[in-house]
Amino acid sequence: MWRYSAPLREMQFVIDEWVGAARDWREIPAFASLDGDSVRDILAEAARFAEDVLAPANATGDREGCHWNAGQVSTPTPFPAVYRQFCDAGWPTIACAEEDGGQGLPQLLNAVFYEMCYAANHAWAMYPGLAHGAYECIRNHGTDALKATYLPKVVSGEWLATMCLSEPHAGSDLGLIKTQAVEGPDGGYALTGTKIFISGGEHDLTPNIVHLVLARLPYAPAGSRGISLFLVPKRLGADGAGPVNGVYCDGIERKMGINGSATCVMRFDAAQGWLLGEPNRGLAAMFVMMNSARLYVGMQGLGHAEAAYQNAYRYAAERKQMRLTTPPPAGMATPTGPAVPILMHPGIRRSLMQMKVVIEAERAMAYWAAHLLDLAEHHPSETRRRESHDHVSLLTPIIKAMYTDNGFKLASQALQIWGGYGYLEDYGVEQTVRDSRIAMIYEGTNDVQAIDLVVRKVVVDGGAKLKSLLVHLSAESVQAQECGHRVQRLAQRLHQLHAEIVQITDFVSESAALDPEFPLKVGGDFLRLVGLGLMASFWCRAARVCEPRATDDRFSQEKLSSAEYFFDSVLPETNYRLELLRAGRCTLPWMDAPL
């Protein structure tokens, strides 16, 4: 049956060696006292929560779904109790500042915790998943009064939060939103309008819900320059025991997946709210929240892939079909009986290897990005802070889009390993496929991510910032030149790939100057190319780190051969993307209606 086990050894390897976070933590006063044992303890505790509390509620959440009745929403039976355990254990507070009642731990650990949560129960994890972004948003943009009322409750998890952006006619194009905010006599505002696709807009997990709402002030400029951000609570009053606000849940959506997460239609009817940040600067304020939300959506893709992979592996080790065409390698017993575990068949092994090497590189890169968030905020050197910020701003759209594409693709690839059983509800993997599909859409569709990367972050400076990120590829390839021949071979390929990506970055900038449509056509190919390049540099590093001890350590042996497998059998996609990028200059016909 479907279950989840946190890959603790992999996670620890990434933190300790692949990213090497502790080295940087020692330079940051807030984290200097963090030792290896505490990290290990936190992760072990997180694993127990994900495995024993969250995962068992995953299938139930899917089957029961949420129920709407006269504006009230009930979540699946086990969800409220799971949420209480989550708060009681202090999980909401991990990465919040100590002065706000948080534990002041690195974002990195919060990201690892959420990888586990998303893998174990994506729908449930949607409820607290936005809380950290809301915390950052209120912390950075709220008045002292707002902070005093809302920050402690959000940090403790006592109240949950939402992001209210989309309206029926305004999805990717937030410039079209119509919700109105009118200033009242007391400095507050009255908000009126309808928002859709609001995850956790209404539920039975917390007595109050803090909505962060985009709306227009009277006479605001048209488009995205006329949008302001407001804090609108479900219940008013300093302790949330005041009157009910004019916030109504008019219904919840029936969806392909994440059925345990209530996707709400929210109506604001002269609801009382307070401005967060400057008038008409709401999108900028919201993007603080959005950027970390996008990174966490990327973690969802990673979680889906990991959960699908480890369940598929377990099934493949149990299910027996067919005989072997060649004997197994030395040291492995030749199986007897009419059929062997399908794990021994080359096609299945290949499929599992493809998943494994993608998942592990994704994990390394995601933890690195989360670590960069910590460096951008806490590192004493301003240069390191700025550089970390620039890097993470490039990594965010890549992680969001590439990981969620892969989450869906690898979940489906895993399903295939079950054959017909994979299509049945009983085995859990079809739920992973359905759940994973939303992550390609929300928090900015993956097409929007590609445009964000190419148009706003690459073409805009002729690729300067990207090239400074890509220096990691060449630096890694130089370091790996010192190693044995197996690693050197990878380093040479990485060196060449670095040159190819730099060259095509110039080609993209030049093409965009000739034709503004160009980056809109091939943004997705460019995003994947850069993502694969970064993964290659991570695999090269793993090979470099593991090679010296590969002779007598099985874990290191496997990392080295995984790195080789990635380079030989996954990395060819870069040539394909390069070819598609060059083809982006070809004509894209305008289409007639098909019928």
Q: In the range 180-219, which residues lie near a second copy by CB under 8 A?
A: 196-197
Q: How far is the CB of 311 from a second copy (least distance, A)?
A: 10
Element (H, E) at 470: helix 464-480
Helices 485-514 & 554-565 angle (0-180, nearest 10): 40
The answer to whether 68 contacts a second copy (rule: CB under 8 A) is no
Task: Tell me the number of residues near a second copy by CB under 8 A.
Answer: 99
Q: How far is the CB of 235 from a second copy (least distance, A)?
A: 27
Nearer to a second copy, 263 or 388 (CB): 263
Nearer to a second copy, 90 or 328 (CB): 328
> Could you tell me which stretch among 107-115, 207-215, 467-475, 521-529 binds a second copy (CB under 8 A)?
521-529
Nearer to a second copy, 98 or 173 (CB): 173
Nearer to a second copy, 475 or 576 (CB): 576
For 193, list phi and psi in degrees, rounded to 5: 160, 175
User: CB within 8 A of 342, min separation 6: which ones?
Assistant: 316, 319, 320, 321, 322, 348, 417
Q: In the range 117-176, which residues lie near a second copy by CB under 8 A?
A: 166, 169-173, 175-176
Q: In the range 280-339, which residues lie near a second copy by CB under 8 A?
A: 309-310, 313-314, 317, 320-322, 325-326, 328-329, 332, 338-339
Q: How far apart are CA 407 and CA 280, in angstroms?
A: 36
Q: How far apart are CA 403 and CA 299, in angstroms?
A: 7
| 70, 222, 333, 514: which one binds a second copy (CB under 8 A) | 222
Strand-pair partners of 264? 198, 252
Q: How far is the CB of 468 from a second copy (least distance, A)?
A: 27
Element (H, E) at 182: strand 180-183
482 is catalytic: no
Q: How far is the CB of 87 from a second copy (least distance, A)?
A: 29
Q: How far is the CB of 573 from a second copy (least distance, A)?
A: 7
Nearer to a second copy, 70 or 222 (CB): 222
What are the tokens at 584? 């982006």
Q: How far is the CB of 373 from a second copy (least distance, A)?
A: 27
Give me the half-sphere count of Cα atoms (radius 13 Å) on the Cβ side of residue 249: 26
Residue with tokens 């990594």: 395
The answer to whether 12 contacts a second copy (rule: CB under 8 A) is no
Q: How far is the CB of 269 from a second copy (least distance, A)?
A: 23
DSSP-derived secondary structure for 256-285 = SS-TTS-EEEEEEEEEEEEEESSTTBHHHH
Q: How far is the CB of 580 from a second copy (least distance, A)?
A: 6
What are the tokens at 16? 């300790």
The answer to whether 513 contacts a second copy (rule: CB under 8 A) is no
The answer to whether 437 contacts a second copy (rule: CB under 8 A) is yes
The answer to whether 89 contacts a second copy (rule: CB under 8 A) is no
Report the chain's terminal Cα–Cα distance, integer Å: 46
Nearer to a second copy, 99 or 552 (CB): 552
Nearer to a second copy, 451 or 487 (CB): 451
> Could you tell me which stretch among 138-146, 368-376, 458-466, 567-575 binds a second copy (CB under 8 A)?
567-575
| 187, 335, 346, 548: which one binds a second copy (CB under 8 A) | 346
User: CB within 8 A of 383, min separation 6: which ones?
Assistant: none
Contact 127, 83 (CB under 8 A): yes
What are the tokens at 384? 């390191």
Q: How far apart are CA 481 and CA 423, in angstroms?
A: 47
Q: How far apart are CA 267 and CA 272, in angstroms?
A: 13
Q: In the range 96-115, which residues lie near a second copy by CB under 8 A?
A: none
Q: In the range 442-471, which residues lie near a second copy by CB under 8 A?
A: 442, 445-447, 450-451
Q: How far is the CB of 364 from a second copy (least distance, A)?
A: 16
Nearer to a second copy, 258 or 372 (CB): 258
Binding mask 381-420 toward a second copy (x if CB under 8 A, else -) reads ---------------------------x---x--xx--xx
- Choice among 167, 443, 476, 547 that is catalytic: 443
Beta strands (DSSP E) in 100-175 are 160-164
Binding mask 227-256 toward a second copy (x if CB under 8 A, else -) reads --------------------------xxxx
- For 462, left (φ over 0), alpha (ψ -120 to 50), or beta? left
DSSP-derived secondary structure for 23-66 = HHHTTSGGGTT--HHHHHHHHHHHHHIIIIIIGGGHHHHHHH--
Give me the active site residues, please.
443
